[in-house]
Chain A
Amino acid sequence: MESTSFIERILRGAALSLIVIFFLFPIFWILLMSFQTNEEILRIPPSLFFTPTLSNYAALITGKLATVSGTLDIAFMKNLWNSVLLSTASVAIALALGVPAAYAFARFKFRLGEDIAFTLLSFRFAPPLLVLLPLSLYFQALGLTDTYVGLIWVYQLIALPLILWIVRGYFEDISPDIEHAYRVAGHSWGRTFLRIAIPLARPGIAAAGLLAFIFCWNNFVFALILASADKQPVTVGALAFVTASGIQYGQIAAAIVLSVTPTLALALYAQRYLVEGLSLGAVKG
């Protein structure tokens, strides 16, 4: 073991560096592109040296996209806001519904319980296109097409199963006797759920919420079909940069940087929180 460790360390370092470069280089390149004009981006060979410009960000924030054939109005900031609104509301609703449901599935055995849980999970492995056609017909009939409510509803297909299954596992890991001890000390069932079960499952709830948020944020196809430009999130909104006079790579890069920022910030914040939660660790009875 001791004799191999030096070589092993070098190899491991090299492998990790390769992986990091492989995955982070595109992001790094996007970041550089966001400060370049389209001409600089399309230059062959590409160069790391350029005069940085904020024009891409300025165009996104002002909503005026200057192209060779004139000025286009774009709704990027509106799209960004839509993403925040849709993802936040969807995850909030999914948590409000999914956490109690996860608790019920973890603690109580009831008729068809497993079947219901499995059906909810199956939403995750059915391809979205499978449900999109019938959904768009329903939505037209119900008047839900192109509404926030409609999109948030559809986003439950993404968020709810994720939260339900992850949080259920956490609840199952908590000894029921911890809750029993609290109940026998004079507390109601509801209070026990709020004061004991939820705090103990908090790392799981945070992880599930974060994942659900990212999945909702990254969703493309539901919003593409079920909403118009006014209600669409950034993932769909970025299509506006494919214009008649060419693809606006600079703005796309800037849009990506801006749209990644909230999820990245959230992930970094929650990561710290997750590690803290998991190192407490003593969920076992």
Chain B
Amino acid sequence: MADIALSLTKVDKIYQRRGKPPVHAVKSLDMAVERGEIIALLGSSGCGKTSTLRMIAGFEAVSNGDIVLADRRIDQLPPARRGVAMAFEGYSLYPPLTVRDNIAFALKSARLSAKDVEKRVAEISRLVEIEEILDRYPSSISGGQQQRASLARALVRRADLYLLDEPMGQLEPQLRAVLRGRLKSLLVERRMTSIFVTHDQTEANALADRIAVMEAGVLQQFASQKELRDRPANLFVATFVGEPPMNVFEAAVENGERLRFKVTAGPTFDFASSEIPLPVRQAIGGRERAVVGVRPHAIRLGGGLNEARIVSNQWLGDQSHLAMDVAGKLLVAVSHKPIAAKAGEKIRYDAAAADLHVFDAATEAAVSHGLETA
């Protein structure tokens, strides 16, 4: 049986606002995190990810449901007794204390010996590269340095769970890549169960074992990066995860001798039924309409049934992004080789059955992914 560190069961957060309708920020959230696992909460702003983090930390009351950490129910405990460490998006360093004292603060109140405190502060500040500014005050250092100090303050403690709210939002890209690697190895080495909030997919992919995609207060999918990419649970996840996003079109379905998806004024994806496994054909069933999706990397260029006008063709140094005018929107294709075609020219394209994602037109839930059912 998996070793569960944190579990959220049917957790709701409803903000009651005076004279305004209440806001249901988090809806019936279920989530189980294994010990030592690194989780990313990914979503656009206002999706409920920060509310979730704050409920776990204890700064927001849980409206419904319960939270269990390290076999203790914590949702009614004060933050001090929950056994969590947190790094805040706004850094929240104590202005009257030096960076060193800010980091050592929690250790001192946990009654560690001065020698141990010094050793741990030195160790963590080396990791986030703030050794030179340890004796300065928060008001005299840059935003990026404050962020690293805030991260160090959270990581230096021993806790059952580490909550990191946008831990690297303010860092320069190069430093971010370096720190990400170090942070990951620290978390893995010490088996530190952690949840971090981000809107940066690269960061989520690089750091997290599993990613929880949230939207409108609902957990859309909680899975590994590969699973999110290959088997998105619904249309939202399909179009949110991945860069550039998945191309999706509503299409008329013909599921008989051939399996055919016909997009009005757009492409037709046409396959012999023998190409498609029976369970997939059965899942698609008799529906007349569906949403079909193809990842930009899976668009095959230079051949096939369909033709479209090129709107732009950009070579990004290691890949080409080709935008085509299809059914009133842009279809984006990515190729790892330079493409000679210019804007205004026409190009033929197609997609393989194995790369086609099918979603229900009404519920937007996934029906099939390539040759497998959802």
Residues of A within 8 A of B (CB): 109, 175-178, 180-189, 196, 199-200, 280-283, 285
Contact = CB atoms under 8 A, between A and B. Distances in A.
Given A183-B79, A184-B57, A185-B157, 15 more contacts: A175-B90, A175-B92, A177-B92, A181-B88, A181-B153, A182-B105, A184-B58, A184-B79, A187-B109, A189-B78, A196-B94, A199-B96, A280-B95, A282-B137, A282-B138
Given A177-B88, A285-B91, A183 B80 contact: yes
Nearest to B96: A199
Contacts of A181: 86, 88, 92-94, 150, 153
A186 B106 contact: yes
Nearest to B165: A177
Interface of B: 18, 57-59, 78-82, 84-86, 88-96, 105-106, 109-110, 137-139, 150, 153, 157
A155 to B, nearest CB: 32
Contact of A180 (B59, B81, B110, B138): B59
B80 A188 contact: yes
A170 to B, nearest CB: 13
A283 B58 CA distance: 23
Contact of B109 (A175, A176, A185, A283): A185
Contact of B18 (A109, A175, A182, A199): A109
B96 A185 contact: no
Nearest to A200: B95
Nearest to B16: A109
Contacts of B88: 177, 180-181, 285
B139 A187 contact: no
9 contacts: A177-B92, A180-B79, A181-B86, A181-B153, A183-B79, A184-B57, A184-B58, A185-B106, A282-B138
A177 B90 contact: yes
A184 B106 CA distance: 9
A180 B150 CA distance: 13
B94 A178 contact: yes
B57 A180 contact: yes
Contacts of A281: 95, 139
B80 A186 contact: yes
Nearest to B82: A184
Contacts of B92: 175, 177-178, 180-181, 285
Task: Please give me the 8 A-B residue pairs with the lowest Cβ-Cβ distance, nearest first.
Answer: A282-B139, A185-B106, A285-B90, A177-B92, A282-B95, A183-B79, A177-B88, A178-B92
Contacts of A183: 58-59, 78-80
Contacts of A188: 78, 80
Nearest to B92: A177
A200 B97 CA distance: 11
B117 to A, nearest CB: 13
A283 B91 CA distance: 12
A272 B78 CA distance: 39
Nearest to B159: A184
Contacts of A189: 78
B18 A185 contact: no
Nearest to A177: B92
Most chain B beta-carbon contacts within 10 A, residue among A176, A177, A187:
A177
A281 B140 CA distance: 11
B101 to A, nearest CB: 12
Contacts of B138: 282
Contacts of B157: 185
Given A177-B90, A181-B92, A280-B95, A186 B84 contact: no
A275 to B, nearest CB: 16
Nearest to A280: B95
Most chain B beta-carbon contacts within 10 A, residue among A175, A180, A184:
A184
A48 B210 CA distance: 87
B139 A184 contact: no
Nearest to B87: A181
Contact of B80 (A184, A280, A285): A184
A280 B137 CA distance: 10
Contact of B105 (A175, A176, A185, A280): A185
A182 B88 CA distance: 11
A284 to B, nearest CB: 9
A42 to B, nearest CB: 56
Nearest to B84: A184
A22 B59 CA distance: 54
B109 A186 contact: yes
Contacts of A186: 80-81, 106, 109-110
B72 to A, nearest CB: 15
Contacts of B58: 183-184
A182 B94 contact: yes
A283 B139 CA distance: 9
A61 B215 CA distance: 77
Contacts of A177: 88-90, 92
A186 B88 CA distance: 16
Contacts of A184: 57-58, 79-80, 82, 84-86
Contacts of B86: 180-181, 184
A44 to B, nearest CB: 59
A185 B87 CA distance: 11
Contacts of B18: 109
A183 B59 CA distance: 9
Contacts of B84: 184
Given A175-B90, A183-B80, A196-B94, A280 B85 contact: no
Contacts of B57: 180, 184
A175 B79 CA distance: 17
Nearest to B138: A282
A114 to B, nearest CB: 9
Nearest to A111: B18
